[in-house]
């Protein structure tokens, strides 16, 4: 009971921190808007300058919501992969799903140089990029599902996933070699990751994907807890290993594939947040970890985005770089302080 109350207090505190981070994120940007005016705009009250309300509702709030969804989705998919493979270095992209999305984007952006004689892509915009990346990640996910059906050993599946990643990276390298400097720059910009380009409709689609992934994860909590003690123990508890693996792989595919399609390949969050959460909550119970990683992932992503957008400056730093620069020292510090890793 005491432990339950402690966790409850932790979650209330985390939700308050999330709200503070959200408000700070939408009040900072290239245009300086006072916090009180930001609150007025959010609550639907008139602002001192009319354009402030437009900026907040059409640019900053969608971006902040995207950061929350991206952070939550990547953190949860990272937790699922680390539990399934019982490997602390596993992340949401070990199955090659992110590489598949990168390949889809590379074929769309860089493919026009290589295949210009056969067909040409003239429609390279945010929507076509999201579609190409989604298709790429879905095809790799299908390939992984076929392999999962054939291969019984989970570790073999991890190695095969990494091989898929290597193959797609090699194809992207070949495309890059034959591409023009302009197309190459466009692809590199996409690979930096961006959460500021989504419209409300795209945001709704991303929310649907992430929500579906969360629901599937909640139904997998029992099998995830059993997997921590090994596959044989999980089987003795009556867990259907084949079914559980399919659900976990599909969920990770939805979460990681959806995020990569809309925001580009954002590193580190999926690998670090589960470790961060385990060290702070001091537990391996997924009933606590699943909601905790969702909130922690959202908070970390909002903080990184706030730093990336450089207040009062038109420049925006690549979010991919900021997540690693900010997150890595935090995880190192926590592990040194605790002296023992909870996994």
Q: What is the mean pLDDT of residues 244-265?
A: 88
Asked if residue 42 has pLDDT above 90, the reply is: no
Closest CA to 59 of 40, 77, 35, 38: 38
pLDDT tens sequence across 280-310: 888 888 999 999 999 999 999 999 999 888 7
Q: How far apart are alpha carbons 103 and 109 in whole angstroms?
A: 10
Instruction: Give the pLDDT confidence score for residue 339 in this predicted structure.
Output: 67
Instruction: Give the pLDDT confidence score for residue 126 in this predicted structure.
Output: 67
Arithmetic mean of pLDDT over the chain: 84
Asked if residue 35 has pLDDT above 50, the reply is: yes
Q: In the chain, what percentage of residues exceed pLDDT 90?
A: 21
Lowest mean pLDDT among 22-31, 120-129, 293-302: 120-129
pLDDT tens sequence across 66-99: 999 999 999 999 999 888 888 887 888 788 888 8
Instruction: Give the pLDDT confidence score for residue 128 in this predicted structure.
Output: 80
> Distance between the two ends of the chain, CA-based, in angstroms?
24
Read out DSSP for 133-202?
HHHHHHHHHHHHHHHHHH---HHHHHHHHHHHHHHHHHHHHHHHHHS-HHHHHHHHHHHT--SS---HHH
- What's the whole-model pTM score? 0.88
Half-sphere exposure of 269 (CA within 13 A, CB side): 36
Q: What is the mean pLDDT of residues 225-251?
A: 83
What does each C-alpha distance from 84 to 195, 238, 241, 296 come to in angstroms? 29, 17, 10, 20
The sign of the dihedral angle between the CA atoms of 26, 30, 31, 32 is positive
Q: Would you place residue 125 in the very low, low, confident or very high pLDDT band (cuts 50, 70, 90)?
A: low
Instruction: Give the pLDDT confidence score for residue 291 in this predicted structure.
Output: 94
Q: How far apart are alpha carbons 50 and 292 in whole angstroms?
A: 38
Instruction: Give the pLDDT confidence score for residue 294 in this predicted structure.
Output: 95
Asked if residue 119 has pLDDT above 80, the reply is: no
Joined tokens for residue 95: 């199955």
pLDDT tens sequence across 177-197: 888 888 888 888 888 888 888
Domains within the chain, CATH numbers bracketed: 2-338 (1.10.3470.10)
């Amino acid at each position: 009971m005491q432990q339950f109350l402690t966790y409850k207090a932790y979650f209330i505190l985390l939700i308050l921190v999330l709200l503070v981070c959200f408000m700070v994120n939408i009040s900072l940007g290239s245009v300086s808007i006072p916090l009180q005016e930001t609150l007025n705009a959010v609550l639907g009250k008139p602002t001192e300058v009319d354009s402030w309300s437009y900026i907040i509702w059409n640019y900053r709030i969608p971006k902040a919501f995207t950061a929350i969804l991206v952070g939550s989705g990547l953190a949860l998919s990272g937790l699922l992969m680390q539990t399934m493979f019982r490997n602390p270095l596993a992340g949401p992209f070990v199955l090659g799903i992110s590489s598949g999305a990168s390949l889809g984007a590379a074929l769309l952006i860089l493919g026009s140089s290589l295949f210009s004689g056969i067909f040409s892509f003239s429609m390279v915009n945010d929507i076509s990029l999201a579609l190409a990346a989604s298709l790429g990640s879905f095809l790799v996910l299908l390939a992984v599902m076929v392999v999962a059906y054939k291969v019984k050993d989970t570790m073999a599946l991890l190695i095969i996933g990494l091989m898929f990643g290597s193959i797609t990276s090699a194809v992207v390298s070949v495309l890059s070699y034959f591409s023009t400097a302009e197309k190459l720059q466009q692809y590199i910009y996409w690979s930096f990751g961006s959460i500021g380009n989504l419209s409300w409709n795209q945001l709704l689609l991303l929310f649907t994907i992430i929500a579906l992934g969360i629901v599937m994860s909640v139904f997998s909590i029992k099998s995830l807890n059993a997997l921590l003690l090994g596959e044989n123990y999980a089987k003795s508890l009556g867990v259907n290993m084949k079914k559980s693996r399919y659900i976990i792989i599909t969920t990770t595919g939805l979460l990681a594939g959806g995020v990569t399609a809309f925001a580009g390949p954002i590193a580190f969050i999926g690998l670090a947040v589960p470790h961060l959460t385990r060290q702070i909550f001091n537990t391996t119970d997924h009933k606590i970890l699943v909601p905790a990683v969702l909130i922690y992932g959202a908070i970390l992503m909002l903080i990184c985005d706030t730093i990336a957008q450089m207040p009062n400056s038109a420049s925006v730093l690549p979010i991919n770089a900021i997540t690693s620069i900010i997150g890595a020292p935090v995880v190192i510090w926590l592990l040194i302080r605790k002296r023992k890793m909870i996994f």
